[in-house]
Structure 1
Amino acid sequence: MLKCLIVPLLVSSITSAIGSLDLSMSKKIAFRAIIYYFTTTICAVVLGIILVSTIRPGSGKEMGSMKGKATTRVVLTADTLLDLVRNLFPPNIIQATMFQYRTILVAPENSTDVPLTSYKITNEFTEGTNVLGLVMFSIVLGACIGKMRDAGKPLQRLFETLSEAMMIITSWVIWISPIGVFFLVAAKLLEMASFMEVLGQLGWYFMTVMIGLFLHGFGTISVIFFLTTRKLSFPYIAKMSQVLATAFGTGSSSATMPITIRCLDSMGIDPRVTRFVIPVGATINMDGTALYEAVAALFIAQLRQIPLSFGHIVAVSVTATAASIGAAGIPQAGLITMVMVLDTVGLPAEDVTIIIAVDWLLDRFRTTINVMCDALGTILVNSLSKNDLANAPHEVLDAEPHELVELRQDCNEKE
Structure 2
Amino acid sequence: MSQASRILLSLVLGLAIGVVLAARVPVAVEPTIAVAGPVGTAWLNALQMTIIPLVVSLLVTGVAATAEAAQAGRLAARAIALYVGFLAFSATLAAVLTPLFLDLVPLPAASAASLRAALTGVEQPAAAPALGAFIAGVVPTNIVKAAVDNAFLSLIIFTLVFAFAIMRINREGRSLLVAFFTALRDTMLVVIDWVLWIAPLGVFALALVVGAKAGGGAFGALVHYMLTVSAVGFVMSLFAYPVAVIGGRVSLARYARAVLPSQAVAISTQSSIGSLPAMLEGARELGVPVTTAGVTLPLAVALFRATGPAMNLAVAIYVAHWFGVTLSPVVLAIGVVVATLTSLGSVSLPGTISFVSAIAPIASVIGAPLAPLGLLVAVETVPDIMRTLGNVMWDVATTTLLHRRGGGEALSAQEPIDDA
> Quick check: TM above 0.5?
yes
Percent identical among aligned pairs is 18
Contact in 1 for aligned 2:309/2:340 (Cα 8 Å): yes
Deviations 1:99-128 (A, max 9, x none): 5545xxxxxxxxxxxxxxxxxxxxx84347
Q: Alpha-carbon deviation of 1:328?
A: 2.8
Give the 3 Å change call, closer, same or farther, for CA 300–238 of structure 1 in structure 2.
same
Q: Counterpart of 2:372?
A: 351
Q: Alpha-carbon deviation of 1:207?
A: 2.2
Quick check: 1:325 aligned with 2:344? yes
Q: Counterpart of 1:203?
A: 223
CA separation in 1, counterparts of 2:176 and 2:252? 41
Q: Counterpart of 1:91?
A: 175
Quick check: 1:236 aligned with 2:312? no
Q: Alpha-carbon deviation of 1:198?
A: 6.5
Q: Alpha-carbon deviation of 1:380?
A: 1.2
CA separation in 1, counterparts of 2:373 and 2:390? 22
1:365 to 377, 382, 386: 386
Contact in 2 for aligned 1:45/1:291 (Cα 8 Å): yes
Give the 3 Å change call, closer, same or farther, for CA 270–352 of structure 1 in structure 2.
same
Q: Alpha-carbon deviation of 1:225?
A: 2.8
CA separation in 2, counterparts of 1:255 and 1:83? 31
3-state DSSP of counterpart to 1:322? helix
Give the 3 Å change call, closer, same or farther, for CA 59–373 of structure 1 in structure 2.
same
Q: Counterpart of 1:281?
A: 300
3-state DSSP of counterpart to 2:188? strand
Deviations 1:121-155 (A, max 9, x none): xxx84347xxxxxxxxxxxxxxxxxxxxxxxxxxx
1:33 to 68, 75, 79: 79
Q: Alpha-carbon deviation of 1:374?
A: 0.9
The normalised TM-score by structure 2 is 0.57
Q: Counterpart of 1:292?
A: 311
CA separation in 2, counterparts of 1:345 and 1:94? 30
1:215 to 235, 244, 248: 235
Structure 1 segment 10-409 matched on structure 2, within 5 A = 26-27=73-74, 29-56=75-102, 57-58=106-107, 60=109, 61-62=112-113, 63-64=115-116, 76-80=152-156, 86=163, 91=175, 99-102=182-185, 125-127=187-189, 200-218=220-238, 220-265=239-284, 267-332=286-351, 333-385=354-406, 389-391=411-413
Q: Alpha-carbon deviation of 1:245?
A: 2.6
Which has more helix, going by share of residues? 2
Q: Alpha-carbon deviation of 1:347?
A: 2.9
CA separation in 2, counterparts of 1:75 and 1:246? 39
Q: Counterpart of 1:188?
A: none
Give the 3 Å change call, closer, same or farther, for CA 321–213 of structure 1 in structure 2.
same
3-state DSSP of counterpart to 2:334? helix
Deviations 1:300-337 (A, max 9, x none): 11111111222111100111111222213333113321
Deviations 1:23-52 (A, max 9, x none): 8xx32x235423432332222222222222
CA separation in 1, counterparts of 2:78 and 2:179? 31
State the AA in 2 paired with 1:294.
L
Give the 3 Å change call, closer, same or farther, for CA 370–249 of structure 1 in structure 2.
same
Q: Alpha-carbon deviation of 1:379?
A: 1.1
Paired residue total: 284
Q: Counterpart of 1:9?
A: none
* Unaligned ranges ≥5, structure 2: 1-65, 121-147, 168-173, 191-203, 416-420
CA separation in 1, counterparts of 2:250 and 2:93? 23
Q: Alpha-carbon deviation of 1:203?
A: 2.9
Contact in 2 for aligned 1:51/1:208 (Cα 8 Å): no
Give the 3 Å change call, closer, same or farther, for CA 241–230 of structure 1 in structure 2.
closer
* Unaligned ranges ≥5, structure 1: 1-13, 103-123, 129-190, 395-415
CA separation in 1, counterparts of 2:263 and 2:347? 18
CA separation in 2, counterparts of 1:268 and 1:252? 24
3-state DSSP of counterpart to 2:349? coil
3-state DSSP of counterpart to 1:350? coil
Contact in 1 for aligned 2:249/2:404 (Cα 8 Å): no
CA separation in 1, counterparts of 2:381 and 2:220? 16
Q: Alpha-carbon deviation of 1:209?
A: 2.2
State the AA in 2 paired with 1:296.
V
State the AA in 1 paired with 2:361.
M
Moved more, 238-247 or 58-67: 58-67
Q: Alpha-carbon deviation of 1:381?
A: 0.7
Contact in 2 for aligned 1:81/1:322 (Cα 8 Å): no
Give the 3 Å change call, closer, same or farther, for CA 329–260 of structure 1 in structure 2.
farther
Contact in 1 for aligned 2:93/2:236 (Cα 8 Å): yes
Q: Counterpart of 2:134?
A: none
State the AA in 1 paired with 2:290.
P
Contact in 2 for aligned 1:324/1:334 (Cα 8 Å): no
Contact in 2 for aligned 1:59/1:302 (Cα 8 Å): no
CA separation in 2, counterparts of 1:306 and 1:319? 18
Moved more, 367-376 or 339-348: 339-348
Q: Alpha-carbon deviation of 1:290?
A: 0.7
State the AA in 1 paired with 2:224.
W
Deviations 1:238-268 (A, max 9, x none): 3333322332333332343344335434554
Contact in 2 for aligned 1:252/1:329 (Cα 8 Å): no
Moved more, 282-291 or 82-91: 82-91
Q: Counterpart of 1:118?
A: none
3-state DSSP of counterpart to 1:349? coil
